[in-house]
């Protein structure tokens, strides 16, 4: 385990124009007490209820109210969306919920919400008739259907004098619901290195040998590890994927570059997960100019074997955990066990790439976790769930290697 200082969970508080806006200050405080970093965006109407100065003083950061002026950022809605691990909309007005449901982005707050890919909590606060209006209820149903979480509203005496549903939930309830969105933070303090994607092996400056890997599995692992609090470095071959939020990406092209970058980054890592589809062979003498078929015939390409990154990591790993993958089309478990032993890995994640649900580019995977202790076959699951299952298996092992002897959650480690 490293001594790295922990990256605290980040919550973006989106404050809308309702009388309960002042309660967002207490929510901010509650989230800070729970260990979160909080930043605030607010609508122009929210500013009529509570000034930005209050939120600035409490959060220790500028409040985003304009798409065009935000200290330190040229594009605040994108920077804030990427910064946040979760968003809490407090209080959520009927108007802002309607805009969210329609994808309207006409100010800093709603544009930022549209740019957010992280979990979102909505805490409505409004008049009972506005809440019960079929338009509002239809918007709530739409948002729920898209995975937005809700807390409240409660029933009681409302600011307008009416009695009924529409009261903003209690501060503690909103804080708890926000924390629930952040998920487990069991990998805080762990430095995780992931390599992912294919490699490109140059034949000449315009042609290369590659494979069908998209990098999706490795990127899902990197993203899940960062969400669980790990400090993540992703050594990536050429892919079309964006770096997950909070992940440091090192771009490489060839197997040789991936080898050097992965070995170098491993010096400051506690765990390495080798999901990359590294070329086993590379052209022995790539041409330094485009080969012209009229002048130079290319009847054969002489290949040399590349270095095995996983095996080289295992040779220097000591008590650190190294995980490999085995993408096979036949005799899955036999090959996986053989790779576990030959390379000296702690765990091999085996998947059958001849099945549509576990092949290259799929959004699901069906893997078996193969370790010296045995085989655990997992169901077909979406990639983020597979990533979390792999990380949970690793975290058990990592903590087993650490001082406590058992996992942070008391689970037994692999093997
Ligand atoms: N691997 C690696 N370096 C290589 C080749 C593979 O680090 N030069 C890693 C992969 O990232 C994966 C594991 O080794 O974690 C198994 O890769 P795979 O291609 O399935 O196995 P190979 O070692 O290439 O063996 P084979 O071609 O016989 O399947």
* Per-residue pLDDT tens over the stretch 6-41: 568 899 999 999 999 999 999 999 999 988 999 999
pLDDT at 159: 83
Those residues with Cβ within 8 angstroms of residue 122's Cβ, 6 or more apart along the chain or in another chain: 89, 92, 97, 100, 143, 148, 149, 150, 151
- Mutation test residue for ligand 1: of 274, 306, 338, the one with most atoms within 8 Å of CB: 274
Residue 410's pLDDT is what? 34
H helices within 164-297, ranges in order? Answer: 171-182, 216-227, 255-266
| Cα distances (Å, whole numbers) of residue 116 to 78, 109, 142, 372 | 8, 11, 17, 41
Atom of ligand 1 nearest to the CA of 307: 8
Q: Whose CA is nearest to atom 8 of ligand 1?
A: 308
| Ligand 1, CB cutoff 6 Å, lining residues | 255, 274, 276, 278, 280, 306, 308-310, 324-327, 339
Ligand 1 atom with least separation from CA of 313: 7
The gap from C-alpha 400 to its chain's centroid, in whole angstroms, comes to: 25
Predicted pLDDT at 399: 58
Q: Which is nearest to 181 in space by CA: 60, 64, 90?
A: 90
Residue ranges of E strands in 129-261: 149-150, 154-157, 163-167, 191-196, 201-202, 208-209, 231-236, 247-251
- Judged on CB neighbours under 10 Å (0-12, 13-18, 19+), 69 is exposed
> What distance in Å separates the CA atoms of residue 293 and residue 304, rounded to the nearest whole number?
23
Confidence at residue 404, expressed as pLDDT on a 0 to 100 scale: 37
- pTM summary value: 0.72
Residue 321 Cα to ligand 1 midpoint, Å, equals 17
Atom of ligand 1 nearest to the CA of 342: 23
For the chain, residues with pLDDT lower than 50 are 1-5, 401-415
**Are the C-beta atoms of residues 226 and 273 closer than 8 Å to each other?**
no
Per-residue pLDDT, 412: 34
What residues act catalytically?
160
Residue 215 CA to ligand 1 center (angstroms) comes to 15
């Amino acid at each position: 385990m490293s001594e790295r200082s922990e990256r605290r969970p980040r919550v973006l508080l989106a404050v809308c124009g309702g009388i309960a806006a002042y309660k967002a200050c207490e929510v901010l405080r509650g989230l800070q007490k729970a260990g979160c970093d909080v930043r605030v965006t607010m609508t122009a109407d929210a500013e009529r209820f509570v000034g930005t100065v209050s939120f600035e003083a409490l959060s220790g950061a500028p409040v985003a109210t304009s798409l065009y002026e935000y200290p330190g950022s040229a594009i605040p809605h994108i920077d804030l969306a990427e910064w946040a691990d979760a968003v809490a909309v407090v209080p959520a007005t009927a108007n802002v919920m309607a805009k969210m449901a329609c994808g309207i982005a006409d100010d800093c707050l709603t544009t930022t919400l549209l740019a957010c890919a992280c979990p979102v909590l909505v805490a409505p606060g409004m008049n009972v008739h506005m809440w019960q209006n079929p338009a509002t209820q239809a918007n709530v149903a739409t948002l729920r259907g898209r995975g937005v979480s809700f807390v409240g509203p409660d029933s009681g005496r409302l600011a307008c004098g009416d009695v009924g549903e529409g009261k903003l939930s209690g501060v503690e309830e909103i804080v708890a619901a926000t924390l629930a969105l952040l998920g487990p933070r069991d990998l805080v303090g762990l430095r995780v290195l992931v390599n992912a994607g294919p490699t490109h092996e140059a034949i000449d400056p315009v042609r290369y040998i590659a494979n069908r890997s998209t990098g999706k599995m490795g990127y899902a692992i990197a993203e899940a590890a960062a969400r669980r609090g790990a400090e993540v470095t992703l050594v990536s071959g050429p892919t079309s994927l964006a770096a997950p939020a909070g992940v440091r990406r090192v771009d490489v092209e060839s197997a040789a570059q991936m080898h050097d970058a992965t070995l170098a980054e491993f010096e400051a890592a506690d765990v390495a997960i080798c999901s990359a589809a590294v070329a086993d062979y590379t052209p022995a003498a790539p041409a330094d100019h485009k080969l012209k078929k009229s002048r130079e015939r290319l009847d054969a390409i002489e290949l040399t074997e590349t270095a095995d990154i996983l095996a080289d990591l295992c040779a220097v790993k000591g008590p650190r955990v190294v995980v490999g993958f085995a993408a096979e089309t036949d005799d899955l478990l036999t090959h996986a066990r053989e790779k576990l032993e030959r390379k000296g890995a702690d765990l091999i994640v085996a998947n059958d790439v001849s099945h549509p649900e576990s092949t290259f580019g799929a959004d699901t995977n069906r893997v078996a976790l193969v370790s010296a202790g045995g085989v655990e076959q997992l169901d077909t699951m979406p990639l983020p769930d597979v990533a979390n299952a792999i990380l949970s298996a690793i975290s058990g092992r990592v903590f087993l290697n650490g001082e406590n002897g058992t996992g942070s959650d008391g689970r037994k480690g692999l093997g």
